[in-house]
Amino acid sequence: MNDINILGIESSCDDTSAAVIQNGVIKSNVVSSQAVHEQYGGVVPELASRAHQQNIIPVVDKAIKDAGMEPSDISALAFTKGPGLLGSLLVGTSFAKGFALSMDIPLIEVNHLQAHVLAHFVKESPADDNQPKFPFLCLLVSGGHSQILLVKDHLEMEIIGTTIDDAAGEAFDKCAKIMNLGYPGGPIVDNLAQKGNPEAFKFNKPKIENFDYSFSGLKTSFLYFLRDRMKENQNFIEENKEDLCASLQKTIIDILMTKFHKAVKQTGVKEIAVAGGVSANSGLRNRLEEYAKNEKLKLFIPKFAYTTDNAAMIAITGLFKYQKSDFSSHDITPQARMSL
């Protein structure tokens, strides 16, 4: 059997990434993160697309070299079609078309959200068989999305619940911004939370029907709480940073876990997984581990490299589509808003 080498390209937000997988096994995964946005406290779309333009060729070149391959060894090219920032997506899409055309190989469009879930299927070695079995429930938590998905097959996922406003990652980032902690806020809050008391402060939790999430109320409650305390003590945030982060993180995790537990009970699944940038959170990982143990469920937590945006997840999704000959035509355009 000929080897199937998929080159994946990810450029939906502020990470330029390229990866090569061979028959589902990771060969390289190069990520170039854009530090330029830190000083603005969030991603500046115009700067992101310019940085992608500068990074994409060296990143792809390194991914192919790290894999020990030549461009002519690549069987197909998978790229992120959306959702994401249109300017950023355009850079990846245009590069992907050019590469596929010049090498005369199939072009495969990938949904970024589906790819976050399928990151669990990237193999570390040919013998690696530690992958979830269908159906499983996946908690997809990133900067743009918070969803509970029933994964029935590689390319068949049903949305059980979704956020009606902010995503979990946004809640981390926006609350960190209120505290002036820097960007992206998630990892900073995670770090400080490890030194704080999660029971120190209480914040409002949403009362939403069914399996949906809402995080905008928490952000507002956090803002008003700090405003009131700052009236009494100008240094309140500085003096209570660790406790604030620990309490905020616990509230976000409580909200995520309550609905996830409800969905596990309703669907009766035996295997669960977590994906997306927020799945890097140590508090969420610990809570899921404890939960899976108590409920006797098999839990899949991605390697850190596959939590935030990366092209390995795009390449593996590309492989599943390649196996179905699900290819894209060259008149394809990126899409900023896209569901599963």
Cα angle at 159 between 17 and 205, to 5 degrees?
95
Residue 173 interacting entry, from Zn ion, ligand KG4, none, C-beta within 5 to 8 Å by type = ligand KG4
SS3 sequence, 234-301? CCHHHHHHHHHHHHHHHHHHHHHHHHHHHHHHHHCCCEEEEECHHHHCHHHHHHHHHHHHHHCCEEEC
- Tokens 């939370």 identify what position? 193
- Tokens 């450029």 identify what position? 11
Smallest separation, CB 296 to Zn ion (Å): 30
Binding to Zn ion in span 280-309, by CB under 5 A? 309
Smallest separation, CB 303 to ligand KG4 (Å): 13
Residue 280 interacting entry, from ligand KG4, Zn ion, none, C-beta within 5 to 8 Å by type = ligand KG4
| CA dihedral (90, 92, 94, 97) positive or negative | negative
Smallest separation, CB 187 to ligand KG4 (Å): 4
Q: Which is nearer to ligand KG4, 174 or 259 (CB)?
A: 174
Q: Pairing relation of β-strands 15-22 and 5-10?
A: antiparallel
> Residues interacting with ligand KG4, by CB under 6 A?
13, 142-144, 169, 172-173, 184-187, 190, 276-278, 280-281, 308-309
Smallest separation, CB 214 to ligand KG4 (Å): 16
Cα separation of 29 and 33, whole Å? 13
In angstroms, the first-to-last Cα distance of the chain is 32
Please report whether residue 142 would count as binding Zn ion according to CB under 5 A: yes
Smallest separation, CB 71 to ligand KG4 (Å): 27
Q: Which is nearer to ligand KG4, 184 or 318 (CB)?
A: 184
Q: Which is nearer to ligand KG4, 172 or 300 (CB)?
A: 172
Q: What does the binding site for Zn ion look like in residue numbers (CB under 5 A)? A: 142, 309
